Each structure stands twice: as structure tokens, then as C-alpha cells.
Chains A and B, each alone.
Chain A
Amino acid sequence: MAGAVAAVLGLSLLLGSTGGSTGPPRDSLREELLLSPLPSGDLAATFQFRARWDSELHREGVSHYRLFPKALGQLISKFLVRELHLSLTQGFWRTRTWGQPYLQAPAGAELWVWFQDSVTDVDRAWKELSNILSGIFCASLNFIDSTNTVTPTASFKPLGLANVTDHHLLRYAVLPREVVCTENLTPWKKLLPCGSKAGLAVLLKAERLFHTSYHSQAVHIRPICRDASCLSVSWELRQTLTVVFDTFSIGQGKRDWSLFKMFSRTVTEACPLVSESKIYVDISSKTQENELLEVTPLPLSVHEASVQGDRRTYAVYDLLSPSLFNVSRSLNVQLKWKRPQDSLDLSTPVLHAQRYVSGYGLQTGEISTLIYNTHPYRAFPVILLETVPWYLRLYVHTLVITTKGKENKPSYIHYQPAQDRRRPHLLEMLIQLPANSVTKITIQFERALLKWTEYTPDPNHGFYVSPSVLSALVPSVIAMKAEDAEQSPLFTSLFPSSDGSSYFVRLYTEPLLVNLPTPDFSMPYNVICLTCTVVAVCYGSFYNLLTRTFHVEEPSRGGLAKRLANIIRKVRGVPPL
């Protein structure tokens, strides 16, 4: 009897589960590690964890989260976020010596969000969103307010699906003073389904990751097409972490690298929840015959891709293939250089930039940006976005753009002047960079004196100016074919590619540190007293002159002092007072 009931129950459950047309939404996870040796001998390791969830978060009421983290899913549905990009970075990517980055982030914290067009009060949503993100990632994102938020008009176009692009739905803020440390890494790792227990995330140990020249961790959420017909929308969450290991501090001067040397751990297994887990090692060489780099263990396959206008070769280690862990239980990828390093030629990237402050004294200054286009024959335009805090008053009539000694007029300028204590300056320009040229953009500013409570506790450290952003479609030397995003490695599908002849690059310049004149912080009471004394001097003098009249002085008997003075005068023989 009980058996028959159990069988009926089991059958009904089976029927029920297969009878329903809508099952739980499908989600998938891919993880990938890219090791690319840099021309200067350092090594860049880029982790990417991509969770893709075929669900329409905004329409259906979702309660069951599997691979997609619940904290972020709830955030997207509550604030009607269309795209969210948050990065926390320590260090600066030196484009000139390290080459073009796959995904650069500015020093500090950067947050940019596209909201859905059904959001009525974007500023309120932005404020609440930044506060909640500050709690999720243990970062001081709550310092994001109207004084460092801007609404760019041309830069930061959506990276995912977009049908409406009213730029009033976009908000962008950078906190250059923000520091990244272990307490930011831990919640970032917690968003991964396997945590740091299995798969590539095992390598993410804080004491090695923060012993680097550049550490950048980011979260990117965007909607993508579910399939080729693009009838429905899936949500993609990419968590990227890029670190650059320095030859001299980690490598002890030698240019040989291994997973154990970098992360002090090796990979033992793939995360059981992933559908793809691969390690790519960039073994491309400048000349065809000589291979500079030797990787052990021998890669099972080699992948060729055209990335950033270059044809590159990658050694692939697929952690899900059973033959990988046949020889040893753990995988320690080792890179050895076959030739000594001085024969490496440093290929300068096509687009790189630097920015600095010039001038002396605490009254005025000048911000100069130099943009280099090293392409031998192609010119291309670049969009420059500068956000300058309100206390450095920019004078846009002093904006001068010169290329090769001649004036270069930008074809599009959007300038929003700052309002004191309310919003920063926003300057966006579309500048045409001629081939093989250096473009210099200078603008003068005046330093404001702030109220004594508006200075940071260490006022003589200076104030940070957030990095400027350069976005460009750089023409590539070779033709790149558009590959299917699902089949190609994750690092090739970071930015949507429109055609095969150019690739999208977003570069950030250095943040600037600018000193402001300071009042004396120990003097508020003294200043109030002294200034009020001066006002009282005026008041007193005028009061006397207005209310009193002249009288002939009646002789008085004189006080003690007068009598003493008279005695002395009589002794001297001078007439008395």
C-alpha cells in the first residue's frame, strides 16, 4: 500500500516536472585565466568568471538564484538597472611599457550604471545603488554623491543590448582616493558559485594578489542576446580580476614564471558547476620561427585569435578535460624563456596617453594631456572625457589642442561647467588624431580656497583629480573576424565588436594630485574675534561720531595722575596741565 502510494507520488512528480512548460531558467558559468607575459618582463594574469542567466529579471518575479548571485540579482530588479560596471583598482596600467590592456580600470573605484528608461528619479536610484554596493563590496562607495558624479554624453555607451540610449539614464563616478585591499576581495570572491574552494578561484589568495604592481577587480553586469535571433534577453555577470606580477619583487629578477611562484598555489580541479574552465597562456612571438616561450606541461591544444589588431597564439589548458590531471594531481603551468630578454622589442601600443599638472604656486595651474597615435598611416578619432572637481575652476577659453604644432579643433565639444559644492566640471571632446602624431591638450585652472571643514584630515597631501577616459575605435593592422561570443575565449568578447577592421579600446590616464591653498586650521576662534573687532572699530567710531556732539571741556580737578604730572611739571619749570 505504501509502496503503491510512493509510486503514484513519484509518477505524479515526474509528470509534473516534465508537464510544466517553463522550468527554472538556465544558467551557465565559465571561468578562464589568461597569462600574458608583458614586454617589460612582468606577467599579467587576468581571471574572468562569467555567469550567464537566461532570465528576464525585470519582468518575472525571481526567487530562485543558482549560479547568479542573489545580492546582484536583487539589485538589478529593485533599481531597474540595465548595466552596471564597478571596478576597484590599485596601481596604474603602464600602457607604454606593458602594451594595450584588455580591460583597463582607473585607479581607485569606478562605477558607471545605465538605468532602464522606466526609472523616474535616476539620481535617487543612483544614490541608493551606490550605498548598497558600498555595503556589498565593503568599499567606501557611499562617498559617491553629486560632487563627483557626471552624466557623459558620448563616452560609456552601453556594452550590452541597448535600444534606448538617452544619456540621462547614465551615471558615472570615480573615487580616485579609494584603496583596494583584502576586505574588498573577500566579498568579490563570495559572489562566485564555487567561492575560492574549487576551480581557478583557488588561486585567488589575498597575500599574493596584493603583492603586485597592478590589481584590478571588477564586476560587469549587462544584458545580452540569448541566441542568434536575439528575441529574448539573458543577463551576463562577468567578474574580472587583473594582476600584474613584477619581475623584481616577485620574480627575484628572473623572468621565469609559474603558477606556484605567482599565487603560491596550483590548480587541482575545475569548479564542478562550470561548463568551461580554461587557462590560456599567450605564447605569440614576433617572428614566426623562433618561439621565445616554453610552457610546461605541454598544452593539449593551441588557440589562435586576433585580439586587439594582432594575431596571437595561446596555449590552452582545459581543466575539464580528463587527460589534464593524468600525470600529476595538480596543474602548475610554468613559463620559461628560451632566449635572453634583451632581444625583445617593445612594440608601442597604437594609442596611449599621459596626463600631468604643470604650473607653480597655489593659485593657478594647467592640466596637460598628451595622446599618442603611433599607427604609421591611419588616423582615427578619440573621445576624451575629463571630470575635474569643482574646486579646480577650469577656464574653457584657455583650452588649446595642438597636433604637430598646429591647432586641432575638436569636432564635438560638450562642456558642463561646475557648480560650487554641487557638481564637477565635465568636458567631453571628439578629437581626430592624425597618424603618427602627439596631440597635446592643455587647459588652465584656478585653485579655490575651501572652507576649513571641507579639507580632508591630511590637507597637504593634496586633492585627487579623477583619471580622464579615452575611448577610441583603433584601426587594426589585420582583419579580425567576428567570432561567436559563446565559442570564443572570454577575453575576446569583453567589448562588442562592430566590424573586423577596428577594435574598441578604453584607456585611462593617471589620476592627478593637486595642492590647494589652506587656511590655518587652528584659528577659527581667533579669526572670528579679530574680524569682529575690526567691524566693531568701525561701529564704535561711527557710533561716537553720530551720537555725541562737541562740547567745550569743563576743567576738571584732575585725578591723581594729573596731580602727580603737575608736580613733576612744576619741578621741571613747565606750565601745568
Chain B
Amino acid sequence: MAAPLVLGILVAVTVRAVLYRSSLAGFISERVEVTSPLNAWKRVVEGLALLDLGVSPYSGDVFHETPLIIYLFHFLIEYSELVFMITDVLTAVALYLAVQDFNKVVFKKQKLLMELDRYASDVAELIRTPMEMHYIPLKVALFYLLNPYTVMSCVAKSTCAINNTVIAFFILATIKGSTLLSAIFLALATYQSLYPLTLFAPALLYLLQLQFIPVKLKSKGFWLYTTQYAALYLCSLVVIVCLSFFLLNSWDFILSVYGFILCVPDLTPNIGLFWYFFAEMFEHFNLFFVCVFQINVFFYTIPLAVKLKEHPIFFLFVQLAIISIFKSYPTVGDVALYMAFLPLWSHLYRFLRNIFILSCVLIVCSLLFPVLWHLWIYAGSANSNFYYAITLTFNVGQILLISDYFYAFLRREYYLTHGLYLRRKDGTEAMLVLK
């Protein structure tokens, strides 16, 4: 299995290298769908130039990266292209290993449930076999590496790729069952962009499952493990934040990075919902809607945790998708990360209802983004409403995609426990509704 992966990696690296040397590299790095004020490479270079001039990079409003990125690129600025290609490869390899281990866990759990007779009798079609699951890790790795969104993110040298790598390592550490590493990588991911805080819940649920600790509020083992994990996470976060303080000897970066993510002062257009909303917001309601939109990202965690406590990795996938859609400055790199997980749920294909329309919507919107941007900014024949409309459609497409997968997952779980061929009381074929 290693050989196809290595081949895939080589192809991906070649594609990126070719694009780096072509004239498309400049065009892609200017695209607002690929870079945002948070992770643009131009701003990293600007921050390092400010540091060379003796001015703190956080004294202005152009640099919003964490101090560890300054530290990393201070030494690696010459090899930036290599760094980004390596991060993509590392992400793909981490996802590959994670999904491989996850498949083993899924298979073991399925076997246990079958022996316990939890499944209905006629669900043989729905049972997953090692044969069909054999190529899933490779598909996941290739889905990430060869996704046009990922390629564009890498060519634009957006630091979203580094963020994705840290999250991928976090997922690998969680699936392997290492509490410490999982906490450390989650702290790094939260330090980088704040929203992965919500991934604490699925990781905790998964680790509890691995340790065979039942999730009961009265159980002492549950609270013990939760406090252990939370303490590790918070301590590593505090250590990383303090290290960043010592880099530049000031706390300016907290306001520049986290204040910026939460308050959304910069209204540069991107593929998200925030920019036009706050460009057209009445000044009086600005604070209220900023709070509402930020709460919206964190709000789904508890209900999803309650519903999906038996399936923490699916919960992780849905949570990642919600972060990518509703974060304050999304880019296609964030979309690429959760899309890489879609091959994991390829067995849900028969239950998906709108997959064709949704994929058409997503592809067409991705193609229309640069067209309508050009018409607004360069040709002047369209206005901002056109780009905004495509943003809305793209986000609706993503939302419906995730909820479609969620629906299919829940439906399969129902069939597994109640039987695939359902009959009504009078013997006719039954219809399932969500009531």
C-alpha cells in the first residue's frame, strides 16, 4: 500500500512544482478565495520585512499570523515553496495513517456489534468488508493531495496548509490514542486559528471510546479522564502562548490574532458569509451580529456531541465542516480539509439524496468565483452583489452537502438496527421519514 501512496505523492509534488514555475503562481496568490487576510503569504513576507525594519509586525493591521509562524519562516523563508509542498505531503501521510487505523477500529467495532446481535438480520449489504475498505486510506490521501483547492492553496503559499497539517496530526494522534500528543496538537491548532477548540469534544469522545470509558455524567472515570485531557490541552496552550510572548516580548499578538479573528474588522471579500454582511451592517447592530455569527460556529458542538457520541469521527468531520463554512475568514484550503474525509463515508452513497445537484453547485460556483470577481473588480460591469450571490450559493451548497451526509449516516444507522427491508404493518414497502 505504500507504493501507490508514494506515487500519488510524487504526482502531487510534480503538479505543484510545475505550477510554481508557471505564470499562474502570481495569479493564484492574488485570488481572494485562496488567501485571506489571516493566511496570505504576502502578509507573512510583510511581517518579516517589518521586523527587519525594527517595527513590531503587530503594530499595524496587516499581519495577523501567530509569532510561531514568524519564528518558523524567519529561518525558512528561502525554502518557502519546499516547506509548503512538504506540509501538504505530511498532511496526506498523516491522514493516510489515521484512516488506516480508524478502519481497523471500525471493523473491530462492527464485529463486536455483530457478535452481540445488535444488527438486524437482513443488513448484510450494509456491513463493511475489509475488501471495500482497503483503498479508503489511499483515496483519502489522494483526495487531499490532488484536490484543486489544495493545489491552489499550496501554490499560493497560504498558511492554511500549515493549519491543515497541524489538524491532520491532531487527528492522527487522536486515532492512535495518544492523549498527550492529541492535546498538544489540538493546542497548536487552536493557537493557530482559535476555531479548532470545538474539536476538543469529538477527540475526547473518541479517546474515551478507545479506553472503554463509558460516557456517563455520573461516572468518575469519565470525569477523571476529561479533566486529564482538558488539563493537558490547557497547559500546552498556555505554554505555547507564553513562548510566543517571549519571542517579541509583548502581548500585542493576542489582539492582532485572536481579536482580529473574533471582531472581523477587515472586510476583504472571501468565500465566507461575514464580509458583505458586515460591510452592509447598520453600525448600531455590529457588535450583536458579530457575537451571533461567532457563537454560530461553537454552538453546534454540544448538540452534535449528544447525538453522535457513539460516532466521534463522524462528529469530527461534521465539526470540521462547520468550522470551514462559518469561520470568519474561510478559504478553499479549509474546504479541502474536510472534503478529504469524504471517501471515508463512501459507503453512504446509496442514502445520499442530492449529491448530484450539490456537486454541480459546488463545481459551478468554484468556476464562477474568479469570473464574477473579475467582472466586479477589473471590468467594472458587475457589482459586489454578483460575487456575494456566488458566495451565498457556495455556502448553501456546502451546508446541504454536510447535512446530506449527516442524513445518510443517520439513515444507515437506523437501517443497521432495524433492518434494511422494512415492511409496514400491512406488508407493503415502508417509507422512512424524519419525525
Contact = CB atoms under 8 A, between A and B. Distances in A.
Given A418-B60, A451-B267, A552 B55 contact: no
A544 interface: yes
- Prevailing SS type, chain B contact patch: helix
B307 interface: yes
Contact of A519 (B273, B279, B296, B424): B279
B148 interface: no
A537 interface: yes
A75 interface: no
B275 A449 contact: yes
Given A534-B399, A542-B300, A552-B432, A528 B277 contact: yes
A553 B431 contact: yes
Interface string A522-561: 0110011011001101110110111011111111000000
Interface string B407-420: 10011001000000
B378 A361 contact: yes
Contacts of A418: 60-62
A552 B406 contact: no
Given A361-B378, A534-B273, A534-B395, A450 B430 contact: no
Contacts of B411: 550
B228 interface: no
A542 B406 CA distance: 9
A421 interface: yes
Given A420-B265, A519-B280, A535 B303 contact: no
Interface of A: 360-364, 390, 393, 395-397, 413, 415-421, 425, 448-453, 517-520, 523-524, 527-528, 530-531, 534-535, 537-539, 541-542, 544-546, 548-555
Nearest to B63: A417
Contacts of A518: 383-384
A542 to B, nearest CB: 6
Given A397-B49, A555-B424, A550 B432 contact: yes
Given A419-B60, A517-B377, 13 more contacts: A363-B30, A415-B53, A416-B59, A452-B279, A520-B280, A520-B383, A524-B281, A527-B388, A535-B293, A545-B406, A545-B407, A550-B435, A555-B428
- Prevailing SS type, chain A contact patch: mixed
A419 B399 CA distance: 35
B70 to A, nearest CB: 14
- 7 closest Cβ pairs, A-B complex: A417-B60, A397-B49, A541-B403, A361-B378, A527-B280, A524-B280, A553-B431
A550 B59 contact: no
Interface string B77-101: 0000000000000000000000000
B290 interface: no
A420 B256 CA distance: 11
B2 interface: no
Contacts of A390: 61
Nearest to A539: B296
Contact of B392 (A534, A551, A554): A534
B60 A548 contact: no
A523 B277 CA distance: 10
A524 B422 CA distance: 50
Interface string B240-275: 000000000000000000000000011111000101
Contact of A548 (B266, B277, B377, B435): B435
16 contacts: A362-B377, A395-B42, A395-B62, A415-B50, A418-B60, A418-B61, A448-B267, A449-B269, A528-B281, A531-B276, A538-B322, A544-B434, A546-B306, A548-B435, A552-B431, A555-B426
A552 B430 contact: yes
A550 B434 contact: yes
A430 to B, nearest CB: 14
B105 interface: no
Contacts of A544: 434
Nearest to A527: B280
A173 B244 CA distance: 36
Contact of A448 (B266, B399, B403): B266
A531 B392 contact: yes
B61 to A, nearest CB: 4
Contact of B268 (A395, A421, A448): A448
Contacts of A393: 61-62
A21 B428 CA distance: 122
A450 B268 CA distance: 9
Q: Name the residue among B59, B267, B376, B395 with the largest chain A CB count within 10 angstroms.
A: B267
